[in-house]
Structure 1
């Protein structure tokens, strides 16, 4: 977050977490509404390293 926001930013520190949760939710909804079976990629969050997209 220090690389994205400056030191004067006073918003929530959970902004990225909420964004990623929304992305996971939208991906799951799109897969559920697909007429064919879809393998979703996994979005993991290795501690201290951000997010990683893995083959589902």
Structure 2
């Protein structure tokens, strides 16, 4: 079966991942986010206990 022969496909997969990791990934990570996170103090929420009618 030709699908089990890893000779050409292993090289193609390795080269495509190497190309992605070295060329495309730094270019896409260099873009600035349109919605940068804001340093806000977290607000604490008050938890109200629920009274269950059957207990």
- Per the TM superposition, whether the score is higher than 0.5 is no
Q: TM-score normalized by structure 2?
A: 0.35
Bigger helix share? 2
Bigger strand share? 1
Specify the structure having the higher radius of gyration (Cα): 2
Q: TM-score normalized by structure 1?
A: 0.35
Q: Higher relative contact order at CA 8 Å, sep ≥6: structure 1 or structure 2? A: 1
